[in-house]
Amino acid sequence: MWLDGTSQEAVNRFWESCGETEPFPRGLERSVSLALPLALVKWPHLRLRGIESWFERRGATFRFNCLSRAVRGCLVAYGGQGLIFVDGADSDEERRFTIAHEVGHFIVDYLLLRERAIAKFGEKIVEVFDGLRIPSIAERVHAALAGTALGVYMNLMERETVGAVVARSAIWDIEDRADRVALALLAPVEDVLAAADVSAAGFEQRWAVTVGVLRERFGLPASVASIYARSLLEEIGRGPSWVETLRLR
């Protein structure tokens, strides 16, 4: 299964709220502004201290409580709204994946959880989500079971070596779920398979063709395209044969 129910709900919700489907390659910036209460902030050579300074200049106190370091992106959500900070010095390919990844976190790990809690406990639970009061015992139990972070929600996309975003072999695992949503937004499976000729006899040829399509038509970073191509081919039964697997080791 490409997407679990929650991830598919996130993708469907995004495009339904957007009201239009963006052509490929998708930058998502306009679509995000139409679909979600999210604002994008591009900051060259993005660092945690720079994000803290951004809030300070606007009269808000926000701290990561760790040493400053470079990051590709950062999501900060509060009050049902959010900000996505993106490294403006990154390539278009890296930026679009960062944005899509953080959109996945915002919908799946923040917005949907918030809405489900409201449906269960009523509007009063918003005060708990926003850190304005201590949750009751029942609310604490529910939050723990749901894995919900109360107060300001924050997620970082670390600045890693090329390919590490997916090389952690977790493109299909909780950072993984945000990756899945990102890929479904940027390069839906059905569109990729319609555009890629996977009829070649050898896996290496099928993989190279699929990677090329993912990079040229869908604008994915090379590292992401590489592992996504393999995952797609394996899912449709066009992965490496047993003999090819031995050779690839």
Which residues touch 16 (CB under 8 Å, ≥6 apart)? none
Q: Which residue has tokens 């604008």?
A: 219
Nearest to 71 by CA among 93, 96, 90: 90
Contacts made by residues 180-183, CB under 8 angstroms, sequence distance 24+: 180/2, 180/3, 180/7, 180/104, 181/3, 181/7, 181/10, 181/11, 181/100, 181/101, 181/103, 181/104, 181/107, 181/108, 182/97, 182/100, 182/101, 182/103, 182/104, 183/100, 183/220, 183/224, 183/228
pLDDT digits (tens, 9 = 90+) for 130-177: 767 777 776 666 665 566 666 677 787 876 644 444 444 444 455 788
Q: Which helix (H) or strand (E) is 236 found in, with range?
A: none
Q: What pLDDT score was predicted for residue 233?
A: 92
Angle at the Cα of 69 (from 39 to 180), degrees rounded to 5? Answer: 55
The DSSP letter of residue 156 is E
Classify 88 as helix, strand or coil.
coil
Arithmetic mean of pLDDT, 97-126: 86
Which residues touch 123 (CB under 8 Å, ≥6 apart)? none
Instruction: Tell me how far apart the 2 most distant CA atoms of the chain are, in Å.
Output: 62
Calculate the average pLDDT of the chain. 85
State the number of CA atoms in the 13 A half-sphere of 200 facing the CB.
15
pLDDT digits (tens, 9 = 90+) for 39-61: 999 999 999 999 999 999 999 88
Give the Cα separation of 47 and 52 in Å (integer): 9
CA 127 to chain centre: 27
For the chain, the structural domain boundaries read 5-162, 187-249
pLDDT-derived band at 10 (thresholds 50, 70, 90) equals: very high
pLDDT at 117 over 90: no
pLDDT-derived band at 37 (thresholds 50, 70, 90) equals: very high
Query: pTM for this structure?
Result: 0.86
Q: What pLDDT score was predicted for residue 127?
A: 77
pLDDT-derived band at 190 (thresholds 50, 70, 90) equals: very high
User: Which residues are registered as beta bridge partners of 78?
Assistant: 81
pLDDT-derived band at 100 (thresholds 50, 70, 90) equals: very high
Nearest to 185 by CA among 228, 146, 148, 153: 228
Q: What pLDDT score was predicted for residue 166?
A: 44
